[in-house]
Amino acid sequence: MAQDLVIGIDVGGQTAKCGVVDARGNIISQTVISSADTESPEAFVAGLAQALDRIIAEAGAEGRIRGIGVGIPNGNYYTGVVENAVNLTWAKAGNIPFARMLQDKMNGIPVSLTNDANAAAMGEMTYGAARGMKNFIMITLGTGVGSGIVINGEVVYGHDGFAGELGHTCAVRHNGRPCNCGKCGCLETYASATGVARTAREWLELTDEPSLLRSLDVIQSKNVYEAAKEGDKLALRVFEFTGRILGEKFADFIEFSAPEAIVLFGGLARAREFLEAPIRKAMDENVIPLWRGKVDLVFSSLKESDAAILGASALGW
């Protein structure tokens, strides 16, 4: 029987989602395991391999898995090593040769890995909104801002395997917000889900403007979204501000690689109704005339729950 299936694994700080995927992007079987209950890389890989054996059996896919793709924080595509992944309990410090370890446990099925945003870009190109595109930039708007850059049909890994840290390019040069990376003013301190909540909290503190958000003890991006839905002026302005900052930076990105489109994905991208117009406006105002109105802004069409597995699986082909 043809080896016509792949496995996609999305490893996050809390869970690892795994699925057996066919060439059309159907997930045939899947499971989720915890990625937070061990500090031993060996134990995590052993548990993961067991889970994979289970979903392979479920899919009747024994002997048909062509490759395994993994999206994982700080994953180096070139070496298969996970480097200083502070968000993973079992990989906090040092370098874990994750691809080799998993491949050994899986009887030699080839394992490729990259970071989650690059995996998302592969997913969009293989099954999603970027099918047929050879030049695009994937921006993932989640807790942080991730990016995967595709040029000539290939993900850009750069000299060392870590290219595409657009969330850490500078959005605000002076007096910018401190970022987890140690710098200040990074795009992700403003334009992530965390950034949106932070903007709202700052503005509530700085003014007396009435807002539905004032009644809440804790403000998260979803609260800002819900308030905007109800027409809350402050919440609406938070999205306008966030969209403008994104659009300003997208103009810079376009001037770098002249992509056909910028593709948005992730929790915050669900606020499309509030973000799309200000992003487009700022993008067009800040890009040189050559590209004005010519670069698409695309919102991912992949089903959110499947996208992470699909993205990683695209690496398996």
Residue numbers at the binding site for a second copy (CB under 8 A): 134-135, 149, 151-152, 154, 156-166, 168-170, 172-173, 181-183, 248, 251-253, 255-260, 286, 288-291, 294
Instruction: Name the residue nearer to a second copy (CB basis): 48 or 122.
Output: 122
Give the integer Cα–Cα distance in Å for 68 and 89.
22
| Residue 24 vs 174, nearer CB to a second copy | 174
The least distance separating a second copy from the CB of residue 151, rounded to whole angstroms, comes to 6
- The least CB distance from residue 167 to a second copy, in Å, is 9
First vs last C-alpha separation in the chain: 17
CB of 176 to a second copy, least distance (A): 11
Reference 238, options 218, 266, 268; nearest CA is 268
Q: Which residue's structure tokens are 């890389």?
A: 41
Cα(284)–Cα(295) distance, rounded to whole angstroms? 9
Longest Cα–Cα distance in the chain: 68
Closer to a second copy by Cβ: residue 134 or 303: 134
Give the residue with the Cβ less far from a second copy, 137 or 228: 137
User: Which of residues 176 and 267 has its CB atom nearest to a second copy in the complex?
Assistant: 176
Least Cβ distance, residue 84 to a second copy (angstroms): 9
Shortest Cβ distance from residue 248 to a second copy (Å)? Answer: 7
**Distance of CA 165 to CAs 13, 112, 149, Å?**
19, 20, 10
Shortest distance, CB of residue 253 to a second copy, whole angstroms?
A: 7
Nearest approach in angstroms of CB 189 to a second copy is 13
DSSP-assigned beta bridge partners for residue 251? none
The nearer residue to a second copy, 166 or 307, going by C-beta atoms, is 166
Q: Which residue, 106 or 315, is less far from a second copy as judged by CB?
A: 315
Which residues are registered as beta bridge partners of 100?
A: none
Q: Are 24 and 317 in contact (CB under 8 A)?
A: no
